[in-house]
């Protein structure tokens, strides 16, 4: 009997790689959501069920829940909330729609999908793996909304790990650092709803931040398959840690935060943020 896993946001990046990793094992039936089914058309596997859906849409999310629940007679073994994107730009220049959409996709979609699949997960004593980020515990200028959505996801996940443990459901937060995906290229930059005077105030910071990201993209980066392998291994364990930090940058920032006095850490991060926005 195949185990069952639902993975969201599988068009590219971690979602696509995680999907491929589960299928290679030949021990899992994979339900993969994507807004662009054509992006998975090249994967040939009888164990793959592609569900065209935007999980931020209530009606499409409900369709996902119905398909998965009706297909998993013994319950869903693992839910991987991966779908997400980054909104970047000064808070002052972001529209209310942009702000709300960031939280709809990165926070409310995984929250509500998890809630609606709890009966199925409880039946199998399953696992929930939420893909967060190094920015789930460290702030970043010009990405305040993305950071806030990931902080919220981390708080939700930690609380649920305690709440659901009595029902045999394990929850893990995965915190990847910088890896070679199209994440940076896919950033949604604040544009144009803001008036030109507001944009002008932040021009220097935005140029510096874009330069920083360009350098980051030109660097070697980590192999994203490392994240896919780690997620797969998590679901094979009898129990999962609450958090899994992947990448040397994530580990370094975490230990810096923990080991330094708060004032020292704050000073270092303020200084680093200033240099980041002045990059050329």
CB 98 within 8 A of CB 146: no
Which of 3, 29, 120, 132 is catalytic? The answer is 132
C-alpha span between 165 and 53 (Å, rounded): 29
**For 228, what's the count of Cα atoms within 13 Å in the CB-facing half-sphere?**
23
CB atoms within 10 A of CB 51: 19
The region, left, alpha or beta by phi > 0 then psi within -120 to 50, assigned to residue 170 is beta
Strands 28-34 and 3-7: what pairing? parallel
Catalytic residue check, 162: no
CB 226 within 8 A of CB 179: yes
Catalytic residue check, 132: yes
Residue 60's contacts (CB-CB under 8 Å, 6 or more residues apart) are 53, 54
CB atoms within 10 A of CB 118: 18
Catalytic residue check, 255: no
What are the residue ranges of helices labelled H in the chain? Answer: 13-25, 58-71, 96-103, 109-124, 144-163, 196-201, 203-218, 225-236, 248-259, 262-277
CA dist 117 to 91, 132, 222, Å?
Answer: 34, 20, 33
Which of 11, 120, 133, 235 is catalytic? The answer is 11
Site of tokens 């290229």: 185
Burial code of 93-112, b = ≥16 C-beta within 10 A, e = fewer? bbeeebbebbbbbbbbbbbb
Catalytic residue check, 57: no
Which of 127, 133, 150, 235 is catalytic? The answer is 150
CB atoms within 10 A of CB 1: 7
Active site residues: 11, 132, 146, 150
């Amino acid at each position: 009997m195949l185990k069952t896993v639902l993975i969201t946001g599988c068009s590219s990046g971690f979602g696509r790689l995680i999907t491929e990793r589960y299928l290679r094992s030949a021990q899992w039936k994979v339900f993969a959501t994507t807004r662009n089914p054509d992006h998975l058309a090249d994967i040939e596997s009888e164990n793959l069920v592609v569900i065209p859906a935007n999980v931020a849409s209530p009606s499409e999310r409900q369709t996902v829940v119905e398909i998965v629940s009706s297909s998993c007679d013994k319950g869903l073994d693992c839910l991987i909330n991966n779908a997400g994107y980054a909104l970047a730009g000064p808070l002052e220049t972001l529209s209310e729609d942009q702000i709300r959409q960031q939280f709809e996709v990165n926070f409310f979609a995984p929250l509500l999908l998890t809630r609606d699949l709890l009966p199925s997960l409880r039946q199998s004593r399953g696992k929930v793996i939420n893909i967060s980020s190094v920015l789930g515990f460290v702030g970043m200028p010009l990405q305040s909304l993305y950071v806030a959505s990931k902080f919220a996801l981390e708080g939700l996940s930690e609380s649920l790990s305690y709440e659901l443990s009595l029902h045999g459901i394990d929850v893990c937060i995965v915190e990847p650092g910088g890896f070679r995906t199209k994440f940076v290229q896919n950033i949604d930059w604040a544009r144009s709803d803001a008036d030109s005077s507001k944009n002008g105030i932040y021009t220097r910071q935005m140029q510096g931040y874009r330069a920083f990201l360009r350098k980051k993209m030109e660097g070697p980066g980590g192999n994203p398959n490392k994240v896919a392998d780690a997620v797969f291994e998590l679901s094979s364990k009898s129990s999962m840690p609450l958090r899994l930090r992947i990448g040397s940058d994530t580990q370094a920032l975490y230990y810096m935060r923990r080991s330094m006095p708060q004032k020292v850490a704050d000073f270092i991060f303020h200084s680093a943020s200033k240099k980041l926005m002045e990059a050329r």
